[in-house]
Amino acid sequence: MSRTHKDSPKSKQVRAASRKGRERRISVRGVRRAEPDLRKLGRALIDLALAQAEADAEAQSADESPNPESADD
């Protein structure tokens, strides 16, 4: 049996449920290195910044869009 238990029935249920639109749970494990991988760190930082900018833009556009219910009043 593998150490990660990827073939267990429970893990298959979890994978199937995550495909149905549920959020993923991400696990990160650190590896000690003499020098940090600046390329990976920079890419991760850029990806986080882009995701945050996208979320901010969606929130702002949701705030600016007129409410269709108030137009009927």
pLDDT digits (tens, 9 = 90+) for 9-54: 666 666 665 556 667 788 888 888 899 889 999 999 999 999 999 9
pLDDT digits (tens, 9 = 90+) for 15-25: 665 556 667 78
Look at residue 48 and tell me if it is in a domain: yes
Look at residue 29 and tell me if it is in a domain: no
Q: How many independent structural domains does the chain possess?
A: 1
Q: What is the pTM of this model?
A: 0.45
Look at residue 67 and tell me if it is in a domain: no
Report the distance separating Cα 59 and Cα 45, nearest Å: 21
Cβ proximity of 32 and 38 under 8 Å? no
Look at residue 42 and tell me if it is in a domain: yes
pLDDT at 3: 63
Q: Which residue has the higher pLDDT, 58 or 1?
A: 58
What tokens does 57 get?
């833009």
> Is residue 72 scored above 60 in pLDDT?
no
Cβ proximity of 11 and 5 under 8 Å? yes
